[in-house]
Amino acid sequence: MKQFNILFLCTHNSARSILGEALASTHPSGKFAGYSAGSTPGSSVNPIARELAVEMGMDPEKLKSKSWDVFGLPDAAQMDFIITVCDNAAGEQCPFWPGNPVTAHWGFPDPSRVEGTDIAKKTAFVEVMNGLKKRIDILAAMPLDKLDSMSLKEIHTKL
């Protein structure tokens, strides 16, 4: 079975995109290799996102904030799908992606901006994680080799 490379983009690559990478990489279908990056990556992954990703079975050594520039290099893994998960990244000028991947925007509020108790903060991350999981589940059920950008965007609008 072919695995499809899916890159999740967010400005700082510390929360939403990390969750997307972990969900895709650990998806029970085995159809995806997840990656994540940011336009201006932070210095570290948000601790709550890290905790949730490790609970999913993600190798903690792979959880790093990185620039999206690394995925535009000639020796980078070629992406089949590129999904922005924050509104800022969706509006930015993205680098050239080799291979003409299918792109879409699945916007989610930034859970790291939630203030309050630890429970409230974790709940915000879990809500984003669950929203991403629903979309990835729908994506996994589709004929992946025949998808186009419109089909991928419709996953977000149907939920």
Strands ordered across the beta sheet of 81-84: 32-37, 4-9, 81-84, 102-105
Could you confirm whether 94 is annotated as catalytic? yes
Active site residue 39: no
Phi, psi of 5 (to 5 degrees): -85, 130
Whole-angstrom CA distances from 122 to 13, 50, 51, 52, 118 are: 18, 11, 10, 9, 6
Reply yes or no on whether 60 is catalytic: no
Which listed residue (70, 94, 114, 142) is catalytic?
94
User: Which one is catalytic: 7, 10, 49, 144?
Assistant: 10
The C-alpha angle 33, 31, 148, rounded to 5 degrees, equals: 90
Active-site annotation holder among 86, 102, 129, 132: 86
* Active-site amino acid positions: 10, 86, 94
